[in-house]
């Protein structure tokens, strides 16, 4: 059974002891058996000896039963469809999906209807978030008005209104001069520019990866070069402008090579990968049809091998889902006409943990990609770390629990996922935001 709670109670004087936990903090390398104490919304203490002589009276006890207790996970790329397409997802359902996935912080993309391109629209969104969100919810603002790629937004005032960074995701910024100006402005503001890297002229309306499968199905393909051309161009611009450039949902071996070279040169570039891009190849389209259609598309084993190498050597900093809810009408059509994207929040953790179970990364290395490394990309160093005085955003998870993913049971309003009756290992048992449980499963 799953239960959800809005984190809106007054817990000023409430203390909670999380005992019998395996405490993992990837930021410091901590991995010990011990306990953690929260006081109100904050982490008050943690360590191996804490409560070794018992928990004093007046403190609530949550027995973690040897599960992992780690910093709350972040998903730094989600589409909650607010404003404009609340029939696909809204703040309440999107953040419930996050909580169920062990995620305590999400970052929404700006390609809503209307787009998040003015301080007023962003302020309205944050009002809705304040009432409805089960987890911490931030938003990117658009780089250009209407994400049309022509006219820069008022980035300074969007920053004051709470933008976490800037992105036209859904679309790339195609014009090099506009991109240069955006990067210059973001650098001045100390903010990240996040690119959906795709040369749309080269993609030419393609719907899946260009290769054997697109030829077999006789549909138009999107070549790897579509992504790599924009990443290479943007890295040249980054040399001109300075600042922090981030590649969203990287998918090709060429783009990963480009990021690796740029990092070696000392450029401030980061990138993230979505779990589906290292679990599935474009062959999944044969079985899952439109549920395996996303942008960037599923690629080939060669690209997966490059992603795994990139995750291992640090070229790829973070894992983020590109959670993209769509209703049936958007997906129950021909492959060429279907909307791009799949939901991801409730499958991020088990899919990422495949990296651990397949011995590609250690457990702490996997969690790093969804905790402090993700927090650093959005310039929020207070998130994703176990630190006394920080907000008690925590995830309790069982990395070895076997379960079957069933999209019909998702809290997300949309069920578009290729991971149907997919056997996975590992899941969140309890999710805590600012010291309050927002989600729990029966076990703890
Ligand atoms: Zn995108």
pLDDT at 198 over 70: yes
- The mean predicted confidence, pLDDT, of the chain is 97
**For 146-285, where are the E strands, in sequence order?**
163-167, 192-195, 208-209, 221-222, 244-247, 269-273
Tokens of 175: 């014009």
pLDDT at 444 over 70: no
| CA–CA distance, 395 with 430 (Å, rounded to integer) | 6
Q: Are 199 and 226 in contact (CB under 8 A)?
A: yes
Mean pLDDT of 194-208: 98
Segment 358-401, tens digit of pLDDT = 999 999 999 999 999 999 999 999 999 999 999 999 999 999 99
What angle separates helix 224-241 from helix 176-189, to the nearest 10 degrees? 50
Contacts of 434 (CB under 8 A, 6+ apart): 7, 41, 391, 392, 393
The model's confidence at residue 146, banded by pLDDT at 50, 70 and 90, is: very high
pLDDT at 206 over 70: yes
What is the whole-number distance in angstroms between the Cα of residue 7 and the centre of ligand 1? 30
What is the whole-number distance in angstroms between the Cα of residue 146 and the centre of ligand 1? 15
Segment 327-348, tens digit of pLDDT = 999 999 999 999 999 999 999 9
Q: Are 226 and 198 in contact (CB under 8 A)?
A: yes
What is the whole-number distance in angstroms between the Cα of residue 196 and the centre of ligand 1? 5
Active site residues: 322
Query: What is the separation, in whole angstroms, between the first and last Cα of the chain?
Result: 11
What is the whole-number distance in angstroms between the Cα of residue 436 and the centre of ligand 1? 32
What is the whole-number distance in angstroms between the Cα of residue 290 and the centre of ligand 1? 17
pLDDT at 197 over 80: yes
Least confident of 19-23, 143-147, 266-270, 439-443: 439-443
Q: Are 393 and 104 in contact (CB under 8 A)?
A: yes
Q: In percent, how much of the chain has pLDDT > 70? A: 100
User: What fold does the segment set 72-377 form as a domain?
Assistant: TIM Barrel (3.20.20)
Question: Which of 417, 406, 311, 295 is CA-nearest to residue 354?
Answer: 311
pLDDT at 8 over 90: no
What is the whole-number distance in angstroms between the Cα of residue 295 and the centre of ligand 1? 6
**For 183-306, where are the E strands, in sequence order?**
192-195, 208-209, 221-222, 244-247, 269-273
| CA–CA distance, 276 with 205 (Å, rounded to integer) | 21
Q: Are 98 and 325 in contact (CB under 8 A)?
A: no
What is the whole-number distance in angstroms between the Cα of residue 316 and the centre of ligand 1? 16
What is the whole-number distance in angstroms between the Cα of residue 279 and the centre of ligand 1? 18
The model's confidence at residue 443, banded by pLDDT at 50, 70 and 90, is: low
Burial class (CB within 10 angstroms; exposed 0-12, middle 13-18, buried 19+) of 157: middle
Give this prediction's pTM. Answer: 0.97
What is the whole-number distance in angstroms between the Cα of residue 343 and the centre of ligand 1? 13
What is the whole-number distance in angstroms between the Cα of residue 443 and the centre of ligand 1? 36
What is the whole-number distance in angstroms between the Cα of residue 99 and the centre of ligand 1? 23
pLDDT of residue 175: 98
Could you write out the DSSP letters of every residue in 59-124? -EEEE-TT-EEEEPEEEEEE---TTT-TTT--HHHHHHHHHHTTEEEEEE-S-SSS-S-SHHHHHH
Could you identify the residue written with the tokens 């999380």?
18
What is the whole-number distance in angstroms between the Cα of residue 131 and the centre of ligand 1? 27
| CA–CA distance, 39 with 34 (Å, rounded to integer) | 17
Based on its alpha-carbon atoms, the radius of gyration of the chain, rounded to whole angstroms, reads: 21
| CA–CA distance, 259 with 277 (Å, rounded to integer) | 17
Q: At residue 48, what are phi and psi to the nearest 5 degrees? A: -75, -30
What is the whole-number distance in angstroms between the Cα of residue 170 and the centre of ligand 1? 5
Local structure of residue 57 (DSSP, 8 states): T
Segment 19-43, tens digit of pLDDT = 999 999 999 999 999 999 999 999 9
Mean pLDDT of 93-122: 98
Contacts of 433 (CB under 8 A, 6+ apart): 7, 72, 99, 104, 134, 135, 136, 391, 393
What is the whole-number distance in angstroms between the Cα of residue 233 and the centre of ligand 1? 17
pLDDT at 283 over 60: yes
């Amino acid at each position: 059974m799953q239960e959800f709670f809005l984190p809106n109670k007054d817990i000023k004087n409430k203390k909670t002891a999380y005992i019998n936990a395996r405490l993992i903090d990837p930021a410091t390398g901590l991995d010990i058996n011990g306990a953690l104490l929260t006081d109100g919304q904050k982490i008050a203490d943690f360590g191996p000896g804490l409560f070794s002589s018992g928990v004093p009276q007046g403190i609530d006890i949550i027995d973690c039963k040897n599960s992992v207790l780690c910093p709350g996970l972040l998903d730094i790329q989600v589409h909650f469809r607010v404003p404009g397409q609340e029939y696909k997802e809204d703040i309440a359902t999107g953040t419930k999906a996050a909580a169920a996935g062990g995620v305590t912080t999400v970052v929404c993309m700006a390609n809503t209807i209307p787009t998040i391109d003015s301080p007023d629209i962003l302020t309205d969104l944050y009002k809705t978030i304040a009432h409805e969100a089960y987890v911490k919810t931030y938003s990117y603002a658009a780089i250009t008005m209407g994400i049309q790629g022509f006219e820069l937004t008022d980035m300074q005032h969007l920053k004051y209104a709470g933008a976490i960074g800037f992105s036209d995701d859904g679309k790339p910024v195609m014009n090099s001069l506009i991109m240069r100006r955006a990067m210059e402005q973001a650098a001045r503001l100390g903010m990240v520019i996040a690119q959906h890297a795709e040369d749309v002229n080269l993609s030419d309306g393609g719907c899946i990866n260009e290769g054997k499968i697109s030829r077999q199905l006789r549909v138009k393909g999107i070549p790897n070069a579509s992504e790599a051309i924009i990443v290479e161009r943007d890295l040249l611009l980054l040399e001109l402008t300075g600042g922090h450039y981030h590649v969203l949902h990287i998918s090709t071996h060429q783009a990963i090579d480009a990021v690796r070279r740029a990092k070696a040169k000392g450029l401030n570039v980061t990138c993230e990968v979505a779990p589906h891009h290292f679990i599935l190849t474009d062959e999944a389209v044969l079985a899952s049809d439109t549920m395996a259609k996303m942008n960037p598309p599923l690629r080939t084993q060669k690209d997966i091998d490059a992603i795994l190498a990139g995750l291992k050597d640090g070229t790829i900093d973070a894992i983020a889902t590109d959670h993209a809810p769509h209703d049936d009408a958007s997906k129950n059509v021909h492959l060429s006409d279907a909307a791009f994207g799949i939901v991801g929040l409730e499958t991020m953790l088990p899919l990422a943990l495949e990296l651990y179970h397949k011995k590609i990364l250690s457990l702490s290395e996997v969690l790093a990609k969804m905790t402090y490394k993700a927090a650093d990309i959005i310039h929020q160093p207070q998130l994703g770390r176990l630190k006394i005085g920080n907000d008690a955003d925590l995830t309790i998870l069982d990395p070895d629990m076997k379960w079957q993913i069933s999209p019909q049971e998702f809290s997300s309003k949309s069920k578009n996922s290729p991971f149907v009756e997919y056997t996975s290992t590992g899941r969140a048992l309890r999710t805590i935001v600012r010291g309050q449980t927002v989600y729990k499963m029966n076990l703890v």
